[in-house]
Amino acid sequence: MRTLTGKELAAAIRAQTEAEAAAGPQPRLAVVVATADEASLWYVRSIAKAAASVGIACDVVDLGAEAAPERIDDTLAKLSADANVHGVMLQTPLPAGASAQRLAAAIDPRKDVDGANPLSLGRLAAGLPAFAPATAAAVLALLDHYEVELQGRRAVVVGRSTVVGKPLAHLLLDRHATVTVCHSRTRDLASVTSTAEVLVAAVGRPALIGAGHVAPGAVVIDVGTNPTDDGGLIGDVDFGAVAEVAGALTPVPGGVGPVTTALLLRHTARAANLP
Ligand SMILES: Nc1nc(=O)c2c([nH]1)NC[C@@H]1CN(c3ccc(C(=O)N[C@@H](CCC(=O)O)C(=O)O)cc3)C=[N+]21
- Fill in the DSSP letter of residue 209: B
pTM: 0.97
Pair 149, 94 in one domain: no
Pair 53, 164 in one domain: no
Tell me how many domains the chain contains: 2
Pair 139, 233 in one domain: yes
CATH number (domain holding residue 174)? 3.40.50.720
Question: Residues 6 or more apart from 105 whose CB is under 8 A from it?
Answer: 117, 118, 119
Cα angle, residue 49 at apex, residues 233 and 14 outer, rounded to 5°: 90
Residue 69 belongs to some domain of the structure = yes
- % pLDDT > 70, the chain: 100
* Overall residue count recorded for the chain in this entry: 275
8 Å CB contact between 112 and 93: no
SS3 (DSSP) at 4: coil
Question: Residues 6 or more apart from 151 whose CB is under 8 A from it?
Answer: 175, 176, 177
Quick check: CB of 162 below 6 Å from ligand 1? no
Pair 153, 103 in one domain: no
User: Residue 16: what pLDDT?
Assistant: 98
Residue 12 belongs to some domain of the structure = no
Q: Are strands 28-33 and 226-227 parallel, antiparallel or unpaired?
A: unpaired
Pair 139, 101 in one domain: no
Pair 41, 143 in one domain: no
Residue 181 belongs to some domain of the structure = yes
Quick check: CB of 220 below 6 Å from ligand 1? no
Q: Identify how many contiguous H helices and E strands the chain contains and give both numbers.
A: 10, 11
What are the tens digits of pLDDT across the range 225-274?
999 999 899 999 999 999 999 999 999 999 999 999 999 999 999 999 99
Residue 119 belongs to some domain of the structure = no
Question: Residues 6 or more apart from 238 whose CB is under 8 A from it?
Answer: 207, 209, 210, 211
Q: Mean pLDDT of all residues in the chain?
A: 97
User: Residue 24: what pLDDT?
Assistant: 93
At 53, the amino acid letter reads S
User: Residue 176: what pLDDT?
Assistant: 98
- % pLDDT > 90, the chain: 99
Pair 75, 171 in one domain: no
CATH number (domain holding residue 91)? 3.40.50.10860
Confidence of residue 66 (pLDDT cuts 50, 70, 90): very high
Quick check: CB of 35 below 6 Å from ligand 1? no
Pair 94, 143 in one domain: no
Quick check: CB of 134 below 6 Å from ligand 1? yes
Residue 8 belongs to some domain of the structure = no
Q: What CA–CA distances, in Å, run from 14 to 51, 111, 129, 132, 265?
A: 9, 19, 22, 18, 8
At 101, the amino acid letter reads Q
The protein residue with its alpha carbon nearest to ligand 1, atom 3, reads 91
Cα 27 to averaged position of ligand 1 atoms, centre (Å): 22
Pair 58, 141 in one domain: no
Q: Write out the residue range of the structural domain in which residue 140 sits.
A: 134-257
User: Residue 149: what pLDDT?
Assistant: 98
User: Residue 152: what pLDDT?
Assistant: 98
At 186, the amino acid letter reads T
How many Cβ atoms from other residues are within 10 Å of residue 153's Cβ? Answer: 17
8 Å CB contact between 224 and 201: yes
Pair 230, 165 in one domain: yes
What are the tens digits of pLDDT across the range 73-124?
999 999 999 999 999 999 999 999 999 999 999 999 999 999 999 999 999 9
Angle (deg, nearest 10), helices 118-125 and 165-174:
30
Residue 41 belongs to some domain of the structure = yes
At 197, the amino acid letter reads E
User: Residue 1: what pLDDT?
Assistant: 97
Pair 100, 158 in one domain: no
Q: Could you tell me which residues are beta bridge partners of residue 62?
A: 33
Residue 272 belongs to some domain of the structure = no
8 Å CB contact between 65 and 73: no
Residue 120 belongs to some domain of the structure = no
The protein residue with its alpha carbon nearest to ligand 1, atom 32, reads 43
What are the tens digits of pLDDT across the range 121-178?
999 999 999 999 999 999 999 999 999 999 999 999 999 999 999 999 999 999 999 9
Cα 152 to averaged position of ligand 1 atoms, centre (Å): 30
From start to end of the chain, where are the E strands?
A: 2-3, 28-33, 57-62, 87-90, 154-158, 178-182, 198-201, 219-222, 226-227, 233-234, 248-249
Pair 95, 143 in one domain: no
